[in-house]
Amino acid sequence: MEDWLIDDDDLSLERKSLLPGEGFFVPDSVEEAKEEQEAKEALDGAEVAVVADPDADGLAATALVREAYGEAALIDAGPHDLADALERVAAYTEPGATVVVCDLCPDAFDPIAAELAVLVEESDGVAWYDHHQWDDAVAEAVRDAGVDLVVGESEEECTADVVARSLDYDFPEYLVELAAVTRDHDLWLREDPRSDDLADYAYWAEPEEYMAVVQEHGADLPPEVEAFIAERRVEKEALIERAVDRADLKTVGDWTVGVTYGRCSQNEVAEAMREEGADASVVVKPAGSASIRGTDEFERCHEVARQVNGGGHPKAAGCKPDVYDDMLDYAHHWTTQGAVTKRVILDAFRTLPEEPAGEQD
């Protein structure tokens, strides 16, 4: 396949909105080999390692860990490749290393059980800080494995907050402020304009670049970074506009659910659908995943996501339904703007029990 076929720079905004980024077309085996080598290099000689979600919250939490411990190797991961990340840390860190997991919530314990057992046995200690909605049984199993697990209240704290209060360290005020501004975006409070800048910069920059900047400047990003963000936002706003234009409102039981498709920033798109009357919003991405966002009228996003291979918070969750068997399924996904994924997720809304699931630990 010619490189230009997947080069974002060669795509119009409309086509870019409909298709996944070029990284999607790199085979997992190639990406895994690259990640393996990068992990080996990062963890060589490391006495402290952090496994974290590479969004603004996970990276702010990592920045706090580095402040407290002096330095720490970062292995970024999501819920679906958490076991691989734990295995790499166990394989490549120094014996007796300290390991910290941040901003990650496993959907089940069994997929990480073996890797976590090895990590606990070979490390000096494993701490886990998060703020998502944990299943009670999963949390208990992680703790029984020997992990110091601290789960904050998902509607009040972000993971950076949890790290700041959990570590026995007197953090400088600008890093405490970084956690607070990160929370402003992560909990979608949107009271501090700096929080959107942090979220966007974390998405566009490499993790190490982002952490280097916030470790030095905190939430007050330097002018050159602000200029970079402003430039990138021109395209971001155009992609948001296209996704909003495609949105439909569906009546599902007692709720109005906004549904759309596109490569876009899901929070802003969900907010636009909320303003049009949506109690909950579903943003299906070209890569096959979807973001589910709630409101005060709908706080069961995590229950919907758990039915379709995902999880998260009451008002913010993510998933990737298991509906893609081959590239023809993806081709159908792109040409129908996520029709199957939309249907599966809307069915998950329909099959929610009348009463919300009990609050998790």
**Segment 219-228, tens digit of pLDDT:** 999 999 999 9
CA–CA distance, 109 with 98 (Å, rounded to integer): 21
Question: Tell me, what's the pLDDT at 358?
Answer: 57
Decide: 53 and 102 in contact? Cβ < 8 Å.
yes
DSSP code of 335? H
Question: Tell me, what's the pLDDT at 361?
Answer: 38
Do 91 and 192 lie in one domain? The reply is yes
* Angle CA 119–122–128, to nearest 5: 40
Tell whether the model's pLDDT for residue 353 goes beyond 60: yes
- Cβ-Cβ contacts under 8 Å for 4 (sequence gap 6 or more): 10
CA–CA distance, 73 with 99 (Å, rounded to integer): 10
Please give the share of the chain, as a percent, with pLDDT higher than 90.
87
CA–CA distance, 322 with 45 (Å, rounded to integer): 39
Q: Is residue 96 assigned to a domain?
A: yes
CA–CA distance, 78 with 53 (Å, rounded to integer): 6
Q: Is residue 102 assigned to a domain?
A: yes
CB count, 10 Å around CB of 103?
A: 30
CB count, 10 Å around CB of 186?
A: 27
Do 216 and 281 lie in one domain? The reply is no
Q: Give the burial class of 331: count Cβ atoms within 10 A of its Cβ; 0-12 exposed, 13-18 middle, 19 or more buried.
A: exposed
Amino acid type, 312: G
Question: Tell me, what's the pLDDT at 7?
Answer: 85
Do 287 and 161 lie in one domain? The reply is no
Q: Based on the structure, what is the number of domains in the chain?
A: 2
Do 56 and 155 lie in one domain? The reply is yes
The residue-averaged pLDDT of 62-69 equals: 97
Do 261 and 124 lie in one domain? The reply is no
Do 215 and 260 lie in one domain? The reply is no
Measured over the CA atoms of residue 208, residue 197, residue 61 and residue 133, the dihedral's sign is negative
Q: Which residue has the higher pLDDT, 167 or 78?
A: 167
CATH code for the domain of 153? 3.40.50
Measured over the CA atoms of residue 320, residue 210, residue 28 and residue 285, the dihedral's sign is positive
Domain stop point among 221, 256, 284: 221
Q: Is residue 323 assigned to a domain?
A: yes
Do 192 and 63 lie in one domain? The reply is yes
CATH code for the domain of 313? 3.10.310
Q: Is residue 26 assigned to a domain?
A: no
Do 158 and 84 lie in one domain? The reply is yes
Question: Tell me, what's the pLDDT at 139?
Answer: 97
pLDDT in tens, 314-333: 999 999 999 999 999 999 99
CA–CA distance, 287 with 19 (Å, rounded to integer): 8
CA–CA distance, 261 with 288 (Å, rounded to integer): 10
Q: Is residue 8 assigned to a domain?
A: no
Q: Is residue 105 assigned to a domain?
A: yes
CA–CA distance, 87 with 85 (Å, rounded to integer): 5
Do 200 and 268 lie in one domain? The reply is no
Residue carrying structure tokens 């990406």:
31
Q: Is residue 5 assigned to a domain?
A: no
Do 152 and 209 lie in one domain? The reply is yes
Do 215 and 261 lie in one domain? The reply is no
Q: Is residue 32 assigned to a domain?
A: no
Domain range enclosing 288: 246-350
Helix ranges (DSSP H) in 70-158: 82-92, 110-122, 136-144
Do 91 and 202 lie in one domain? The reply is yes
